[in-house]
Amino acid sequence: MVKIPNWLIYALVCSLLYGFWGFFGKLATKSIDYKTVFVYETIGAILTTVFILASSKDLSLEGNITGIVFALLIGVCGTVASVIFLRSIESGPVISVISITSLYPLITVFLSYFFLKEAITIPQIIALVLAIVAVILAS
């Protein structure tokens, strides 16, 4: 029997949830303005965070300053990206907005290549180029 690695399961579930996130964002901005959507999105995020933390048996707020700074930057980048995404999807077509914003992994890959010295293979480069072509065709 083939064992599916945990990271792959997590990535697939994450992708599914991001799909719903974008879809719900469009539905919400059709009814209320993007700033109001953002407020309710934040409330939903806080409630979800409280639930996850309350369910966690091994929560620790320990860490070094580097990890804490980068964790805070995740929150800043994610929050600003959410607001900009909502502003974009409020007036733009779903296929274009989602296609363009789904290219964010390219930034991560390039940053990881240059700063973390992670390898990128030729097939992976081809896949990244094809992702860009797909966005151009979809938009």
Amino acid in position 37: V
How many domains, the chain?
1
**Residue 60 has what pLDDT?**
82
Assess if residue 50 is contained within a domain.
yes
pTM beyond 0.95: no
Confidence of residue 25 (pLDDT cuts 50, 70, 90): very high
Assess if residue 127 is contained within a domain.
no
Assess if residue 46 is contained within a domain.
yes
Assess if residue 110 is contained within a domain.
no
Measured CA to CA, the distance from residue 12 to residue 9 in angstroms comes to: 5
pLDDT at 124 over 90: yes
Assess if residue 18 is contained within a domain.
yes
User: Could you report the per-residue pLDDT of 39-55, keeping only the tens digit for each?
Assistant: 999 999 999 999 999 99
Measured CA to CA, the distance from residue 25 to residue 101 in angstroms comes to: 13
**Residue 117 has what pLDDT?**
96
Range of the domain at 16: 6-102
